[in-house]
Structure 1
Amino acid sequence: MRRITIGVLGLQGAVQEHIKQIESLGHDSAIIKHPEQLDHIDGLILPGGESTVIRKLIDRYGFYEPIKQFASKKKPIFGTCAGMVLVANMLHESPDSHLNLIDICVKRNAFGRQKESFEAMLDVKGMKTKYPAIFIRAPYITKAGANVEILTTYENHIVAAKQEHILVSSFHPELTGDNRFLNIFVDMVVKSLTTITN
């Protein structure tokens, strides 16, 4: 596997934790603070945080169209927690949506507020043993389109999914020492580079 560069949108949220996990897998990382940096990475992570705040910062710093263009080139994007809210086509009980990159409807803060944060062992598609997921003010997916692959659920709620080059999770994979979920994204990035090259 060739070395790849994965960027983490560095406007708000758990950025450094993602950077450490990317580098633990032997790949290059970059904190993305300027839209032109998107031209130099192979995949992009939209981290957790406050989705409304991150959206305002995306608009303020001119990231909206560049991220849409990044996605239009079939370059993989991974939205975790608030990042999942940002890439969803629909938001539960809200007329608003943000980047509209994956055919899902997301309910924000679906498991409750900060004090309702929790950990759970999940059966994730493709993993032989359970995955330790950390949920913090987490959203979940209330509806997924026919072309969306459901990767795992918690209490019958969809908490991770994938559609083409977009990956999402309700939980924070960067806060655990288990890098298997990030590996799903790395595999998507490698596959996209092979497709682009060919």
Structure 2
Amino acid sequence: MTVIGVLALQGDVREHLRALTALGVEAVAVRRPAELAAVDGLVLPGGESTTIARLARTFDLLEPLRAAVRDGLPVLGTCAGMILLADRILDGAAGQETIGGLDVTVRRNAFGRQTDSFEGPVTVRGLDAPVHGVFIRAPWVEAVGKGVEVLARVEVATPHGVLDRIVMVRQGPLLAASFHPEVGDDHRVHGLFVDLVTQTVTQTS
């Protein structure tokens, strides 16, 4: 059975475990390097990106996480997890560290403060109907590298007009979304990730 871990240092861990379990995979919490080494894929949950990175270093997980991404481990990053996967951050905290591996520039808290959180339909490439996107202090992607596929965008009203912002991307085995697909009972984004993990396992076995 496919085993997918959820980095369980801070954030929406329980919700991701529930979504993955509903899809029939073995979902486990990851807090130690040995647990990371035993999974076929990993979810980096929403939460507070600076806190998660700091705890990852405290638990001696930051370098193993970076090595796992370099070695091709499939990873899904949601909200804060997208920031953690990004190679470049705008409006980050002083000295903020990331795991990296995803050739994108992400703007932290791009949609505003907690009071600016919103929900709405998001059309995702590969899915036959929009998903319900929950954006909470969410980032967006400012720029992507040549190897990054844009999977979803949303329109954002600003004082300068309506802007079209990237909110979901894929690069090889890395998948990242600005929103929280673990909220609610629509597990199709997790399903895309499970398919990605299964394909990667098949190719490497």
Note whether the superposition's TM-score is higher than 0.5: yes
- The residue type equivalent to 2:150 in the other structure is I
Q: Which residue number in structure 2 is paired with residue 150 of structure 1?
A: 150
**Alpha-carbon shift at residue 122 of structure 1 (Å):** 1.3
Structure 2 unaligned residues grouped into runs of 5+:
156-163
Match of 1:22 among 17, 20, 23: 20
Secondary structure in structure 1 of the residue aligned to 2:112: coil
Q: Which residue number in structure 2 is paired with residue 190 of structure 1?
A: 198
Match of 2:76 among 75, 78, 94: 78
Structure 1 unaligned residues grouped into runs of 5+:
none
Distance (whole Å) between structure 2 residues aligned to residue 93 and residue 43 of structure 1: 29
Q: Structure 1 runs of 4+ off > 2 angstroms?
A: 93-97
Q: Is the 8 A contact 2:70 2:101 kept in 1?
A: no
Distance (whole Å) between structure 1 residues aligned to residue 33 and residue 56 of structure 2: 9
Secondary structure in structure 1 of the residue aligned to 2:176: strand
Distance (whole Å) between structure 1 residues aligned to residue 97 and residue 165 of structure 2: 20
Count of matched residue pairs:
195
Q: Residues 90-133 of structure 1: CA distance to partner in whole angstroms, max 9, x if unpaired?
A: 01255855122100000011111111111110111011111111
**Alpha-carbon shift at residue 72 of structure 1 (Å):** 2.3
Distance (whole Å) between structure 1 residues aligned to residue 147 and residue 56 of structure 2: 27
**Alpha-carbon shift at residue 29 of structure 1 (Å):** 0.6
Q: Residues 1-26 of structure 1: CA distance to partner in whole angstroms, max 9, x if unpaired?
A: xx311100000000000000000001
TM-score, normalised by the number of residues in structure 2: 0.92
The within-5 A match list for 1:1-198 is 3-93=1-91, 97-155=97-155, 156-197=164-205
State the percentage of identical aligned residues. 39
Distance (whole Å) between structure 2 residues aligned to residue 137 and residue 107 of structure 1: 11
